[in-house]
Amino acid sequence: MSKFTFKKEPKNTGLYAVGHPHPDTDIKHDKKSIGTIVAPSWQSKDSKWTIRLMVKNNLNERSNCKWKWIQLKARFDEEPEARKYVQENSEALLKMNLHHLED
């Protein structure tokens, strides 16, 4: 089983960086994006890091998109804690029918 890897987004600049001081981190599996570790921003209610994943969507008459975002309930004080959570719970996360984003 391949492991999850992470890629830090470039640091935000300009006025945007005032409200978003920390860059997000892409979560990858088999070298394809499957989610994001979202950094806290001025809009965050508790200044915690969160994990969002792309999962395959059941197509119906209201939706023609093959995938959708889900956000895990787990919240973290630091980004390395979120990375550790993804690595430790990799088996459970892989069972979630993840959507691998093509480059």
Query: What string of pLDDT tens digits covers the 103 residues of the chain?
Result: 568 999 999 998 999 888 889 999 999 998 999 999 999 998 888 889 999 999 988 766 666 788 899 999 999 999 999 999 999 999 999 898 898 887 5
Confidence (pLDDT) at 62: 67
Task: Report the pLDDT value the prediction gives residue 102, as an integer from 0 to 100.
Answer: 77
Q: What is the 3-state secondary structure (H, E, C) of 51-96?
A: EEEEEECCCECCECCCEEEEEEEEEECCHHHHHHHHHHCHHHHHCC
Write the DSSP string, 24-49.
Answer: -EEEEETTEEEEEEEPP-TT-SS--E
**pTM, rounded to two decimals:** 0.88
